[in-house]
Amino acid sequence: MRARAFAVACCLLLAACAGYAGRGLMPGVAGEAEVRAVMGAPAMRWTLPDGGAQLAYPRGPAGFHTYMAFFDAAGRLERIVNVLDSAHFARVRPGMTQDEVLRLLGPSQPQWTAWFPARDELVWEWRYCDSWNEAARFDVLFDGATKTVRSTLTWTESQKSDYRVGCAQ
């Protein structure tokens, strides 16, 4: 009986993971309704200048991914991509607005947002899995007055004694 219950639990877990990254959704075929049915409600949605749409699916705070689903003007899925990686982080530049960062990386984790009054600085933070398969954080530091990017910072969780988690995926 336990073996059967375990097998059923494993199947349910695998089925839940299938929608995590939108696996099985066909670009050019799936529409926004199908993506929502598989991946759930997005955290954010933007209408793109060409009439398409972009949906953000952050999988934190325990997860390491934020998926962006892009749709053309006809409402068909173009692609789904994980944006929490070094290539996307490298696109964050001083002077970018908070909205530009949100469209690039999706929302940060609210519990990791910090305000530093002495520096007049707001920090947003994302958790990701670095190139060495280690749990890491990417911080964007915004100027409090202009609400634009001042700088960025990357660090591994092993650099802080409070964190001892790897990137088991």
136: domain CATH number is 3.30.1450.10
Q: Which domain holds residue 152?
A: 86-159
In a domain, 168, yes or no: no
- Collapsing DSSP to helix, strand or coil, 123 comes out as strand
In a domain, 147, yes or no: yes
- Are 87 and 105 in contact by the 8 Å Cβ rule? The answer is no
- Are 146 and 158 in contact by the 8 Å Cβ rule? The answer is no
Is 61 found in the same domain as 112?
Answer: no
Enumerate long-range contacts of 158-164, CB under 8 Å, 24 or more apart.
158/134, 163/135
In a domain, 39, yes or no: yes
In a domain, 30, yes or no: yes
Whether 56 shows a pLDDT value over 50: the answer reads yes
pLDDT level of residue 161 (50, 70, 90 thresholds):
low
Instruction: Tell me the residue type at 154.
Output: T
73 CB-side CA count, 13 A: 3
In a domain, 36, yes or no: yes
Is 138 found in the same domain as 78?
Answer: no
Is 124 found in the same domain as 54?
Answer: no
The overall longest dimension of the chain from CA atoms, in Å, is 62
Q: For 64-101, what is each residue's pLDDT tens digit? A: 999 999 999 999 999 999 999 999 999 999 999 999 99
